[in-house]
Amino acid sequence: MGASRRDLLVGAGVLVAGAAGAASVAKAAPAVVAKPDPAWLQAVLERFAGFGVKASGGPGDTASGAWLEGELASLGYRSERQAFEVPYAEVRKATLAVGGKVVSVFPQAIVRTTDPAGLTLPLKAASVGGSLDGAIALVVLPFRRWVSLAEPAASNALKDAFDRGAEAAVLVTTGPTGEAIGLNVSPSKPAFPKPVVILAPKDAEPFVTAAKAGESATLTVDAEVGRRPAYNLIARLDRGAAKTLIVTTPRSGWFTCAAERGAGVAVWLWLARALAAAKPGVNLEFVATSGHEYIYLGGEQYLEHHAPKPADTHLWVHIGASAAARDWHELPGGLRPLPSADSQRVLTATPDLIARTKAAFAGLNGLEAVYEANRANAGGELVNVIEAGYARAIGLYGGHRYFHTAQDDLRCVSGDLVAPVAAAFQSVIAASL
């Protein structure tokens, strides 16, 4: 990865102004730690969402990390920043036009730009066989809660379109909301050499019609692209113990990520406070990673360069995506919010922890079944943790309806939804110490 494989630890004083400027949620919590407080968790969610878009190394990601750094410092943790580089794109204009219809599109990383004036070529459906030479390919994906460009249905369809000569590709991410879904991507594998953009299914119909007729379309991707610094926040409370409890959560993502990332951050911050007060007989290491949308880059950096060795680790807890996202009814007038959590979340644990994990999370929809944490079942960064030889681990991951969309805002999460998940993690950790 070149520079992205560096292990640069920067002192907690950097960006201290950003941390000091944020109201301290940790200090506002009750003096005695009991069960998680929904109002306190709601304040955390609102603060995190308020930083805006969390793209790795961008202003929202950087500021949210500085805020969390300040929160943990107020609890007695010593913080470090593990720096690395990530790709980025600051988009000036990204549109697709045909006839009189113009819509915004989301440039898929790693971003390839067009001329600022755009690329005007015939728009052709990739599902129809034959040459796509000199055309913009329209690729309509099947219905799914999409996550990554590494998924074969997406990557193979794009490869096929470019192999047949397409000059660019428009990917329709058919999913549960009709919104454009950003896809995670590897920073180390060669990206597609030509522009790829995401078109929201709700906007796709006129372009599908145009592609059937081979009408001319103009695709514009005007952006500043390159690489920029990002960092993992690593906060440690050293008890002088032989072993360490590690708690990790990603904080970055394509959009605001109020539920995708915010729920995990809120649980993580509650646990940091609760465990600091409980004074267990282990060292505590809390890590909020960046680089997640580049297929766990920040997690890999931490695991490779900084994490305590497996023999020195008592337990690794990973709080991944959509830990407590809202569910929605599908009604003729559109999606309607429910007071319950989306069940598309998965809980895994190593064999010795399955029974106590299942007991702690009993009654939480989607989390009642606890699967063995292995390559087949574990999701996100926990896969790498298990493969690295960490013998005791618990992890959660999921994908809610507005996952990886710009509409993942505070409608999608609440302190009331997060509280029972935070309580369950608190309980199982206490039972495992």
pLDDT at 34: 78
Residues 286-301: pLDDT tens digits?
999 999 999 999 999 9
From CA 286, how far away is CA 264, in angstroms rounded?
A: 12
Third-level CATH fold of 2-86+228-432: Aminopeptidase (3.40.630)
Helix, strand, or coil (residue 373): coil
> Position of tokens 């644990």?
349
Residues 39-52: pLDDT tens digits?
999 999 999 999 99
From CA 246, how far away is CA 233, in angstroms rounded?
A: 13
From CA 195, how far away is CA 216, in angstroms rounded?
A: 17
Query: How far does Cα 194 stand from its chain's mean position?
Result: 25
Domain ranges of the chain: 2-86+228-432, 88-227
Query: Which residue, 322, 321, 272, is CA-closest to 426?
Result: 272
The alpha carbon dihedral of 61, 16, 45, 269 has a sign of: positive
Query: Which residue, 72, 92, 56, 58, is CA-closest to 24?
Result: 72
**One-letter identity of residue 314:** H
pLDDT at 17: 31
pLDDT at 298: 97
Is 303:378 a contact under the CB 8 Å cutoff?
A: no
The alpha carbon dihedral of 330, 333, 335, 338 has a sign of: negative
Is 321:122 a contact under the CB 8 Å cutoff?
A: no
With b for 16 or more beta-carbon neighbours within 10 A and e for fewer, the 193-224 pattern comes to: ebbbbbbbbebbeebbebbeeeeebbbbbbbe
From CA 109, how far away is CA 257, in angstroms rounded?
A: 17
Question: Do the strands 78-98 and 334-341 form a parallel or antiparallel pair, or are they unpaired?
Answer: unpaired
From CA 249, how far away is CA 267, in angstroms rounded?
A: 9
Using CA atoms, how far residue 223 sits from 10, 113, 210, 307, 365, in Å, is 30, 6, 26, 36, 42
Q: Tell if the pTM clears 0.85, that is, is over it.
A: yes
pLDDT at 121: 98
Query: Which residue, 45, 78, 50, is CA-closest to 267?
Result: 45
CATH number of 88-227: 3.50.30.30
Q: Which residues of the chain fall below pLDDT 70?
A: 1-33
How many residues are listed for the chain in this entry? 433
Burial of 11 (0-12, 13-18, 19+ CB in 10 A): exposed
pLDDT at 150: 92
